[in-house]
């Protein structure tokens, strides 16, 4: 059996190869490694190495194959929207490897963000989204998953089929009862995709996990990182994760303020119908992301995360609510 990603990147051979690549690329960029690399964490979807150099700390990131597009995507975004993300020091798109300079603490490292900080974050996300609308081919060429509203029903049907076919002991298997519920809800997925497609807002890049822990301040500007959950989808989907965080932070009653901040950038308004549609389609797209990498996990990881694609697909059944209360 092929070792899982988290097992492969924990081996001395893999680490030696990664350090050798990083050292060579840093030398080519005029930086000398001055000490041993550390591997602070290994996750089922990514790992990092930290390398001390004569010009500051450098981070090496390697992604599980489904998320390997992040390195190429960050390189493209740095060119297309200067200042939106840090320009990588080096990338290896074939391996999904990337080197970036240490950027210091994230916006979330100093405690829970204020409502103003959330508004600034979604405004920046919206600004980047609008700038990237014309660049679909470049972003998809970098590997960004293509998940526009028009494809949501196809993904919904395909995911149901895949989850039904799982072995009975698989934690993500879709049982008969839940499958019947999803079958009855299919018309809502169709309607939601049509609402988004007709909204007048074009599909664009979505961060996929936009929160203060994935942003930092530099020279008075905000920059984003951790782009591996990204998709090309309806722009409103970028707000689903911020709304979840706001609710957990106890700011759910003020989430409409954050929605309005994003909407100002897009020069639009978000009504209940549009928000409900975005929630449904986002659940389908998140299910697809979880499904994409689960075949590269250890038994323990599968036990922990294996139900996620089914849970996300079933989220299409949740009661619809207004933008202030996701």
Neighbours of 198 (CB within 10 A): 11
pLDDT of residue 321: 45
Check pLDDT > 60 for residue 227: yes
Write down the mean pLDDT value for the chain. 95
Which tokens sit at 312? 């996300």
How far is 325 from 282, CA to CA, in rounded Å? 16
Residues 6+ apart with CB under 8 A from 126: 235, 238, 262, 265, 266
pLDDT of 96 over the 60 cut: yes
Q: Is the Cβ–Cβ distance between 87 and 75 less than 8 Å? A: yes
Q: DSSP label at 214?
A: G
What integer pLDDT is reported at residue 323 of this predicted model? 42
Helices (H) and strands (E) in the chain, counts: 12, 9
Q: Cα(163)–Cα(197) distance, rounded to whole angstroms?
A: 27
Distances (CA, A) of 159 to 34, 48, 139, 180, 303: 48, 31, 24, 14, 19
The encoded tokens of residue 7 equal 């097992």
Q: For residues 66 and 6, give the distance between their C-alpha atoms in angstroms, rounded to a whole number.
A: 13
pLDDT of residue 221: 86
Residue 326 has pLDDT above 50, yes or no: no
Query: In the structure, what pLDDT confidence band is assigned to residue 113 with cuts at 50, 70 and 90?
Result: confident
| pLDDT tens sequence across 33-85 | 999 999 999 999 999 999 999 999 999 999 999 999 999 999 999 999 999 99
Exposure on the CB side of residue 11, measured as CA atoms within 13 A: 8
Map residue 2 onto helix, strand or coil.
coil
Domains of the chain: 5-101 (3.30.200), 115-317 (3.90.1200.10)
3-state secondary structure of 249: coil
Mean pLDDT, to the nearest integer, of 12-35? Answer: 97
Residue percentage of the chain with pLDDT more than 90: 92
Tell me the three state secondary structure of residue 219: coil
Q: At 112, is the pLDDT very low, low, confident or very high (cuts 50, 70, 90)?
A: confident
Between CA 305 and CA 326 the distance in angstroms is 23
Instruction: Give the chain's length.
Output: 326
Mean pLDDT of 107-130: 93
Kindly report, residue by residue over 277-322, the tens digit of the pLDDT.
Answer: 999 999 999 999 999 999 999 999 999 999 999 999 999 997 544 4
Q: How confident is the model at residue 219 (pLDDT cuts 50, 70, 90)?
A: confident
Structure tokens at 260: 């309005």
Residue-wise pLDDT for 172-189, tens only, equals 999 999 999 999 999 999
* Beta strand 90-92 pairing with 97-101: antiparallel
Dump the DSSP string for 224-238.
E---TT-EEE-GGGG
Query: CA 161, CA 186: separation in Å to the nearest integer?
Result: 13
């Amino acid at each position: 059996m092929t070792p899982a990603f988290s097992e492969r990147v924990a081996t001395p051979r893999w680490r030696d190869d990664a350090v050798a690549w990083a050292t060579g690329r840093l030398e080519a960029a005029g930086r000398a490694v001055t000490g041993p690399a550390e591997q602070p964490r290994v996750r089922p979807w990514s790992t990092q190495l930290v390398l001390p150099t004569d010009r500051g700390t450098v981070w090496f990131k390697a992604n599980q194959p489904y998320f390997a597009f992040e390195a190429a995507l960050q390189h493209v975004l740095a060119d297309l929207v200067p200042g939106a993300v840090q320009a990588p020091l080096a990338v290896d798109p074939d391996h999904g490897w990337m080197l970036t300079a240490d950027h210091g603490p994230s916006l979330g490292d100093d405690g829970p963000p204020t409502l103003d900080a959330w508004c600034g974050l979604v405004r920046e996300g919206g600004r980047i989204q609008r700038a990237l609308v014309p660049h679909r081919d470049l972003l998809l060429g970098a590997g960004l998953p293509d998940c526009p509203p028009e494809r949501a029903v196809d993904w919904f049907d395909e995911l149901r089929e895949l989850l039904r076919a799982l072995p009975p002991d698989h934690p993500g298997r879709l049982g008969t009862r839940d499958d019947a519920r999803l079958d009855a809800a299919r018309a809502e997925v169709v309607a939601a995709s049509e609402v988004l497609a007709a909204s007048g807002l074009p599909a664009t890049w979505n961060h996929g996990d936009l929160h203060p822990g994935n942003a930092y301040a530099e020279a008075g500007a905000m920059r984003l990182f951790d782009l591996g959950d990204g998709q090309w989808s309806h722009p409103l989907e970028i707000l689903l994760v911020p709304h979840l965080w706001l609710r957990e932070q106890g700011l759910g009653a003020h989430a409409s303020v954050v929605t309005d901040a994003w909407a100002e950038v897009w020069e639009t308004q978000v009504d209940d119908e549009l928000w409900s549609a975005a929630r449904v389609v986002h659940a389908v797209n998140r299910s697809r992301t979880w499904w994409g990498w689960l075949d590269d996990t250890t038994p323990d990881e599968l036990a922990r995360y294996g139900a996620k694609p089914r849970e996300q697909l079933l989220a299409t059944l949740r009661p619809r609510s207004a933008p202030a209360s996701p």
